[in-house]
Structure 1
Amino acid sequence: MKGQTGFVSMAKRPFSGLLHTIARWQTLHQERRLLASLNDNALKDIGLNRSEVEQERHLHFWQDPMRK
């Protein structure tokens, strides 16, 4: 029926939203760890400084700067 496609697909994958959120948190954690491992010259190349990276690194995993 029209309008039930969202409900049917949600019923087939009830945990897809949760799994997507967990995957996003893991990716965010990896990116923060990678940023922290860069040297100051590499950070300067991408327009960041060490204090900005340290501030980002100390955020909790649920503090997503993109608010997705």
Structure 2
Amino acid sequence: MKLMSYNQALALNAQPLPPLSRVLVSLALTVAGWELRHRTRKQLAQMPKHMLRDIGLSESHAEAEAEKPFWRA
């Protein structure tokens, strides 16, 4: 799933958003990105070894990725 970028969100409207709305849209997209990272890393941490091999990840790489905080890309 790909998150909509800030510019894509603005392009949906013909008229530019007011400044406060732009800030709120940006904040909402940031929080959505954090939630997606958190969920994905949680799933990665629970993946069995054979599935990690199937997607080309070592256990150590998967563990390192899963341990990152949600705000770090």
**TM-score, normalization: structure 1?**
0.75
3-state SS of paired residue (2:34): helix
Q: CA deviation at 1:12?
A: 6.3
Q: Write the deviation string for residues 1-32 of structure 1: whole angstroms up to 9, x where unpaired.
A: xxxx43xx143624110111001000000000
The match for 1:21 among 3, 21, 30 is 30
* Partner residue, 1:11: 19
CA RMSD, 1 decimal: 1.5
Equivalent positions of 1:1-68 (< 5 A) are 5-6=15-16, 9-11=17-19, 13=21, 14-64=23-73
Q: How many residues align?
A: 58
What percentage of aligned pairs have identical amino acids? 31
Structure 1 stretches of 4+ with a deviation exceeding 3 A read: none
Q: CA deviation at 1:57?
A: 1.2
Which runs of 5 or more residues in structure 2 are unaligned?
1-14
Which runs of 5 or more residues in structure 1 are unaligned?
none
Q: Write the deviation string for residues 14-64 of structure 1: whole angstroms up to 9, x where unpaired.
A: 411011100100000000011111100000000001111110111111111
**TM-score, normalization: structure 2?**
0.70
